[in-house]
Amino acid sequence: MDDLTALARHHLDQARADPHGRSAHLFLHDGPLRQSVIAMVSGCELDEHNAPPAASLQVLHGHVRLTGADGGATDLIAGQVHRIPHGRHGLRALEDSVVLLTAVTATVGCPAPAEDAVTA
């Protein structure tokens, strides 16, 4: 069993010491299910990237902005959870923040990203 509060504190300390201002840890990996803690210092950004078939973002600490390729943005604060857009998206820490990323990397009837890359 993992302690999310302890993981959040540890990785926020790591992010503050990191030259890129972030720290992440995949702590649960069960088949297509992935859960990661991501800590980011204020102003740090995760550039736009592709989304898995299904994912959510829960803010454990701080304030972040989830951006979509369409120009839309959603601000989230501690305690809030939001579905991650299926299209390309990015994340910016508006203050020192820690988020819980829950992702499903494959669903029934949908190829996993690695399978999709092989056939493309």
- Which pTM value belongs to this model? 0.85
Note the pLDDT tens digit of each residue in 48-77.
888 888 999 999 999 999 998 788 899 999
| 18-38 average pLDDT score | 96
Residue for token pair 């069960």: 30
Report which of 38, 45, 43 is spatially closest to residue 89, judged by C-alpha positions. 45
Res 112: pLDDT: 53
Question: Measured between alpha carbons, how far is 41 from 4 in angstroms, rounded to an integer?
Answer: 18
Please, which residues have CB within 8 angstroms of residue 90's CB and are 6 or more apart in sequence?
45, 46, 47, 48, 49, 66, 67
Question: DSSP alpha helices (H): ranges in the chain?
Answer: 4-17, 113-119
